[in-house]
Amino acid sequence: MEMLDKIDFKKSDPQDMLKRIESFPSLIFGAYQVAKSYSLPAHYIKIKKVLMIGMGGSGAGGDILQNLLSETTGLTVQSCHSYEIPKFADHETLVIASSYSGNTEETLAGFITAHNAGAKLVAITTGGKLKILAEKFGAPLFLFDYPSPPRAAFPYLFTILLSVFIKLGAVEISDKDIDKSVELLESMVKKLGHDNSLFSNPAKILAQKILDKVPVLYATNHLIGVAARIKSQFNENSKNFAYFEELPELNHKSLLGIFNPKVKPFIISLESNFDNPRNLLRQNLTAEILQKNKVEIERIKFVQAKDWLSEQLLMVMFGDFLSYYLAILNKVDPTNQENVDYLKSRLT
């Protein structure tokens, strides 16, 4: 049970993914400062629809913001991961392209299509072809510099994307709100970090519980974007199969289909402080049914998060630590992405 307290992390993690994860709070703060230096044209405020395009780690922020902003603003907000973008993109639509490298071919294709459709454009990137296209199209360009795999640049990609909505006036987030979130994240790093013993580290404990099992994330619309992010972190960091399901819809389908074949699923229920009361009841009943049928389930909730931003960021960071520790237990390099690199090389 003490395995994760006896690991030589430098040997198991030669590219130091751990340092990036433990720097999550400071990266959020730094990204917010970078974003403050950019501005949007005044006429962008009149847009009625927002389309966020991005793939992999570059698109995770769009998934998280999609449901939140659709519920809390009058905007139509959609996240897209494809070569093709929805036909609704027009002159009343803001299309935000996020690509860490700036060379993601699906994102570039969507960005060009959006330009041809007369949409208003924003680009978030470290450079590459997306930077060149944004300059050619006269689109606002939010540049940042943080050397890492795209998934580890989430604090920049998410925070800069969020800042676009702040500048649009779609969300009200102040410097103090960011400071509060960062402070909460820093306190949680002390609990989740590698120096904290397994016996008081919930991420280490859960990683050992799900070893050799298939993690399945359950979440309502408040946290379904986070569930998608954590699922991808299991895939990319841990090199582990994982899935996610949305509640209450899963109560009408997968709750009946989880018992066969006799694999070893492990349910991780992400639960929000802001969920509909009926969904809270559904979470309790779902857990009861699973436990009666001897399906393992862990319920995750950060009661200390008093606002949606802090809750989303705490959940994402917890997932990063969890997937990292599972990678170590799986005896894989959490940074390695050999199969993806091979596929991309064959596409050129």
Helices (H), the chain: 9-12, 17-22, 24-36, 60-72, 105-116, 128-137, 154-168, 175-192, 202-210, 224-236, 277-292, 308-330, 338-347
Stated length of the chain: 348
What is the Cα–Cα distance from 336 to 345, expressed in whole angstroms? 15
Annotated catalytic residue, options 10, 136, 252, 331 = 252
Whether 147 and 22 have beta carbons less than 8 Å apart is answered as: no
Annotated catalytic residue, options 36, 46, 253, 344 = 344
3-state SS, 320-339, equals HHHHHHHHHHHCCCCCCCHH
Whether 9 and 328 have beta carbons less than 8 Å apart is answered as: yes
Annotated catalytic residue, options 236, 245, 271, 311 = 236
Collapsing DSSP to helix, strand or coil, 317 comes out as helix
Q: Is 176 known to be catalytic? A: no
- Report how far Cα 345 is from the mean position of its chain's Cα atoms: 26
Whether 52 and 62 have beta carbons less than 8 Å apart is answered as: yes
Q: Is 236 known to be catalytic? A: yes
Q: Is 172 known to be catalytic? A: no
Give CA torsion, residues 246, 250, 255, 257, to 10 deg.
-100
Please provide residue 345's backbone torsions phi and psi, each rounded to the nearest 5 degrees: -65, -30
Token code pair at residue 82: 């494809």
Whether 217 and 268 have beta carbons less than 8 Å apart is answered as: yes
What is the Cα–Cα distance from 272 to 295, expressed in whole angstroms? 22
What is the Cα–Cα distance from 221 to 224, expressed in whole angstroms? 5
Beta bridge partners of 53: 80, 97
What is the Cα–Cα distance from 113 to 262, expressed in whole angstroms? 46
Angle, vertex CA 307, rays to CA 301 and CA 313, nearest 5? 60
Catalytic site residues?
236, 252, 344
